[in-house]
A and B are shown apart, each in its own frame.
Chain A
Amino acid sequence: MKKTLCLYFQVHQPYRLRQYRFFDIGKNHDYFDEFANKTIMTRVASRCYIPANRIILDLIKEFNGAFKVAYSISGIALEQMEQFAPRALESFQELAQTGHVEFLAETYSHSLASLISPRKFKDQIKVHVKAVEKNFGQKPKTFRNTELIYSDTIGEMVANMGFTTMLTEGARHIMGWKSPDYLYVNALNPKLKLLLRNFRLSDDIAFRFSDKKWADWPLTAEKYAGWIAGALEKDDMVNIFMDYESFGEHQPASSGIFDFLKAMPGMILNHTNLEILTPSQAAAKHQPIAPLNVPYAISWADEERDISAWLGNELQTEAFQNLYKIEDQVRKSNDPDLQRDFRRLQASDHFYYMCTKFFSDGDVHKYFNPYDTPYEAFINYMNVLSDITLRTPKQ
């Protein structure tokens, strides 16, 4: 039986907040930095989404379907693409039409709802599934949670919604001696199959590709395919999961990342015992080897691979709890503008900006963060939250 390489790319952009002062509270309901959001979306579209999609499309044609990928595009990224970069959205739709691209489900807002309430979590997934169906004409069978956040109970909720496959992190502290390169199942509901990210091989591209101090720099497609083949001599599957923005945005075009992307599938498929599958195909093909026990939530972030990047300090938990205090009333309000703003405020990014871990480490945090300090992020977010709370009808 052939061994499997599975490629999945995350596409997400939050609605960044504008500078919202306390004197705006109760007066101004315009929260988002239209200029920044538009600038970033158009930049990322032209540097990453459009050129990378072009390459992926060519590869699918070149290998006549033997090359496949999966994407998860958050609902608020879809919205912004529609608004600011319709050509990027079209290029994703073109990929969908090839029949060799799988689109995954997630929470519409790229939210942390899985950590607070099953009902909210479910509602947001449903909204996202609808958006995927509308844009790409397929009903997702595979689920990936925000930042690959996963636990036994989250997996169980996902299984109960009818998903058969879910992606998460092959976190070292969970895996122990076990390899992430096999199919696992949820510990509470074995119907849900789990694909685990091989973080070493994924980060070789996502983080290390252009790092000249890295011993393996420069990374060629041939070398990389050799590593994949090496891992698959024994194991069943290698899951390469990363932010799509790694191509052309985090790793600039000048680093040769696009040439690498063009050459890599050919190098893989040269190995006759290897094939490339989408997550649901890979999950259907391989035999699960064991249930995976994850009592506490894991994610793909930072060294800790836990949820401390979003809910690790008291600022984050206070903001998070205050946000969801008004959720019921917002849902019942029949006010589409209010509901739209509320969705956007749920993006995990807003909580990431309040993370205090990056004082000590975290170039990655700094890269993604529009605020100088977590305190500024918190003040700004809380001001907005104060206003939306005032807007929300009391019961």
Chain B
Amino acid sequence: MKVLMFGWEFPPHISGGLGTACDGLTRGLAKHQVKVLFVMPSASGDEDQSAVRIINASDVAAFQNREEARELIEKVQFLKVTSNLIPYLGPDEFTEQVDLEREKEWNEFRISFGQKFKFSGKYGSNLMEEVMRYSLVASAIARQNQFDVIHAHDWLTYMAGIAAKRVSGKPLVVHVHATEFDRSGENINKQVYDLEKRGMEAADRVIAVSNLTRNIVINNYHIDPSKVFTVHNAVDFSTVENREITKGVPEKIVTFLGRITFQKGPEYFIEAAYKVLQKIKDVRFVMAGSGDLFNRSVRRVAKLGISSHFHFTGFLRGEDVKNMFAYSDVYVMPSVSEPFGISPLEAMKANVPTIISKQSGVAEVLDHAIKVDFWDVNALADAIYGLLTYPALSAMTVRCGLEEVNALKWDNAAMKVKQIYESLKEEKS
């Protein structure tokens, strides 16, 4: 079994959880004898290739000659972002218009024979252009390599996946780590939504990282439920060591760690903190992270008059994150919408009792985290109070939580993914 996999990033240079998940998944697949060709827009050369072969899209020319370009325009021309939809056009005029477009494309392509495109692989302002270029390169890669299945991670790579499918005729799996609804709430970016929907529609199978995400795929993208499967993420803690640290304050510490944006529910954490502080004083709350609700959060804390017990650290990275966990007595993730959510697992791994919202995908795999509805500030406050006040509660969540987290293995997740690949092969034959 050989898989052509399209990702956007891969450790060590990552900016989010996607790269880590791709790393874990491909390692798991390698253990199940699945070979992975991992394509990414901009590889740095220091990626660990023990489990995958990395193809750097920046090193690949989209097409070498006239025939390839022709084929591409025939098969992949739909990928252009420009829309052919012009209102009030008769059929003849429409055909004419399409031919015109095609000719324009052809002219554009001709210039770039043998040319390579330098991807940034970041999430910058020319992201859309990179996404489209990536799909052109993807079709070249698909032509040059042998594989059984195509697997594309998140919307940035869906077009690449579709292009590879068109060129090779192999089945496509798209893997939904997050949707536009998780990123933007109800005010979604229509362009991104459309790309996501096209990817899911073109896919033979859709993998969602939680049942929560699966439901979004089915209900908000109107995808046939019979082809959408949940494979929960796992986590690889083999290199993590817990640290002992001396706190500078005698009080217990309750921590929020994440982007301070609407989706992460920082305001619920603040309101719950206020309620807890009405009852007990020997506790401090820490909000670690940055985001567009940062200023508002600081103002709210000041207005509630709890600033002496509520602290903002700004954005934390690397060592500071580990230290923050070591400082914490309770970790809270009150996310409004979280496709999966790795950070509670990191907290539990660091022996921190953890509270998560029921609206997070990770809630589906955890028994030993306390679960509350994100909007239920009273329940959240009560859970924080309980963990701070009743020793048996924190002792048991820590002990059982650690066992639970250690049991979440990428091997198992990869096995499920492999079964999905195999079902596609069977369908083919």
A interface, CB within 8 angstroms of B = 21-23, 25, 313-315, 317-319, 356, 359, 372-373, 375-376, 378-379, 382-383, 386
Contact = CB atoms under 8 A, between A and B. Distances in A.
B243 interface: no
**Most chain A CB atoms below 10 A, which of B370, B383, B396:** B396
Contact of A383 (B367, B368, B382, B396): B382
A386 B385 CA distance: 12
B378 interface: yes
Contacts of B275: 23
A132 to B, nearest CB: 36
Contact of B393 (A22, A25, A372, A375): A375
A382 B393 CA distance: 10
Contacts of B392: 314-315, 317-319, 378
B164 interface: no
Given A23-B275, A359-B367, A375-B386, 9 more contacts: A22-B382, A22-B386, A314-B395, A315-B393, A318-B390, A373-B371, A378-B386, A379-B385, A382-B393
B390 A375 contact: no
B396 A382 contact: no
B400 interface: yes
A379 B393 contact: yes
5 contacts: A375-B368, A378-B386, A378-B390, A383-B386, A386-B389
A360 to B, nearest CB: 9
B390 A21 contact: no
Given A313-B396, A356-B400, A373-B370, A379 B381 contact: no
A313 B135 CA distance: 55
Contacts of B400: 356
B390 A379 contact: yes
Interface of B: 275-276, 278-279, 367-368, 370-371, 378, 381-383, 385-386, 389-393, 395-397, 400
B370 A21 contact: no
A1 to B, nearest CB: 54
B395 A375 contact: no
Nearest to A380: B382
Contacts of A356: 367, 396, 400
A134 B275 CA distance: 48
A229 B276 CA distance: 64
Given A315-B396, A356-B400, A21 B382 contact: yes
A91 B127 CA distance: 76
A373 B368 CA distance: 9
Nearest to A378: B393
A314 B385 contact: no
Contacts of B393: 315, 375, 378-379, 382
A376 to B, nearest CB: 7
Nearest to B404: A359
Contact of B279 (A23, A315, A372, A376): A23
A375 B396 CA distance: 9
Contacts of A379: 370, 382-383, 385-386, 390, 393
Given A313-B396, A318-B392, A382 B386 contact: yes
B47 to A, nearest CB: 38
B371 A372 contact: yes
Contacts of B382: 21-22, 379, 383
B406 to A, nearest CB: 16
A375 B370 contact: yes
B381 A21 contact: yes
Contacts of B279: 22-23, 25
B272 to A, nearest CB: 11
Contacts of B383: 375, 379
A314 B392 CA distance: 6
A22 B389 contact: yes
A383 B279 CA distance: 13
B407 to A, nearest CB: 12
Contacts of A378: 386, 390, 392-393
Contacts of A21: 378, 381-382
**Most chain A CB atoms below 10 A, which of B276, B278, B382:** B382
Contacts of B389: 22, 382, 386
Contacts of B395: 314
A319 B390 CA distance: 9
A318 B391 contact: yes
A21 B279 CA distance: 11
Nearest to B385: A22
A334 B367 CA distance: 43
Nearest to B399: A314
B333 to A, nearest CB: 16
Closest CB pairs A-B (n = 6):
A318-B392, A379-B386, A22-B385, A314-B392, A359-B367, A21-B382
A317 B391 CA distance: 12
Contacts of A383: 382, 386
